[in-house]
Amino acid sequence: MSVESCTRFLRLTGEDPLIQQQMKALTGVAEVIRFARRNGYDFTGRDLATAVSSDSTPPPLPPPATRSEFYHHEFAMDDLPGFEAVVAELPHLKIMPSTVDLARFDDEFREEDLLSTSLAPSEPAYLRWREQVAGDGGRRDFHLVNLDNHVTHPRYDDYLAAKTRVIAALEQVFGDEVRFSGSMWYPPNSYRLWHTNEDQPGWRMYLVDLDADFPDPDHTSFFRYQHPDTGELVTLRERSRIARLFRIEQDPERRFWHCIVNPTRRHRWSFGFVVPDHWAERLADSP
């Protein structure tokens, strides 16, 4: 294991088109390390951090910010042209890794954290709660399972292959590069608290699916955001096979505060992607 091995692997990712394509499906350090070992390169997370920090090539600048006129777009995946291949892959993506201890997961649930999603990020009550959490120490901004951290479970290779196929299918739809930004499993009573993702500006698409439909349309998982112009809280109730798109901005007055909550007994999955700015034109032009 060495920084040198890591450096050789990083050089390969810039030269081999097949490796480049597969790398678009990886989101975490554990995934990168496992993928590199399968290709004959052995290194640790510390080696990776050292190799990246010593690279003399400056990182690419983020795209220039553009003002969003709309704050979310939502579609049924079954209605989107070209998404047939994506929908077909959902059963291979919606995994429940055996490496997840669900009993421990349930024990880590905190009711007060869940209740914070009913407060607007701009109101004093939320700011007081946030200060209290910061004083408690530890990280309490999410209660969910990042699937890409579980690289040792038996179904991981099939899962990664499905992620790679989904990237190829979406690049056919959008005619440009698409990258995974995260794969999250929301078991019953899970949440991602208020956040902005402002360090990663640009358009995001999230594909949301469930293990079964909700019997009560008023008791579902939901996506909630604070409208940057009006300050109102907008709550989007969910159903199976949704494609949701919104833009992340860095302007302090246009930050897109949002949260996700699954207060039900259903299981929810959310697969995030960085998509090109012209995504709407591509969908409109599709037959």
Which residues are CB-neighbours of 58 under 8 A, at least 6 positions away?
none
How much is the pLDDT for 55?
53
Q: Which is higher by pLDDT, 57 or 128?
A: 128
Tell me: the pLDDT tens digits for 245-266?
A: 998 888 888 889 999 999 999 9
pLDDT mean across residues, the chain = 88
What is the spatial distance between Cα 205 and Cα 248, in angstroms, rounded to a whole number?
11
Tell me: the pLDDT tens digits for 125-158?
A: 998 888 888 766 656 789 999 999 999 999 999 9
Measure Cα distances from 282 to 4, 82, 108, 206, 259 in Å.
42, 10, 42, 17, 28
- Residue whose C-alpha is closest to residue 97's, from 105, 85, 109: 105
For 253-281, what is the mean pLDDT? 94
Cβ atoms within 10 A of the Cβ of 40, count?
10
**Is the model's pLDDT at 274 over the cut of 70?**
yes
- Write out the chain in H/E/C secondary structure: CCHHHHHHHHHHHHHCHHHHHHHCCCCCHHHHHHHHHHCCCCCCHHHHHHHHHHCCCCCCCCCCCCCCCCCCEEEEHHHCCCCHHHHHHHHHHCCCCCCCCHHHHHHCCCHHHHHHHHCCCCCHHHHHHHHHHHHHCCCCCEECEEHHHCCCCCCHHHHHHHHHHHHHHHHHHHCCCCEEEEEEEECCCEEEEEECCCCCCEEEEEEEEECCCCCCCCCCCEEEEECCCCCCEEEEECCCCEEEEEEECCCCCCCCCEEEEECCCCCEEEEEEECCCCHHHHHHHCC
How much is the pLDDT for 64?
35
Q: Which domains does the chain have, with CATH numbers?
A: 3-54 (no CATH), 73-285 (2.60.120)
What is the spatial distance between Cα 273 and Cα 93, in angstroms, rounded to a whole number?
14
> Do the Cβ atoms of 122 and 130 come closer than 8 Å?
no
**Is the model's pLDDT at 56 over the cut of 50?**
no
Cβ atoms within 10 A of the Cβ of 182, count?
16
How much is the pLDDT for 203?
93
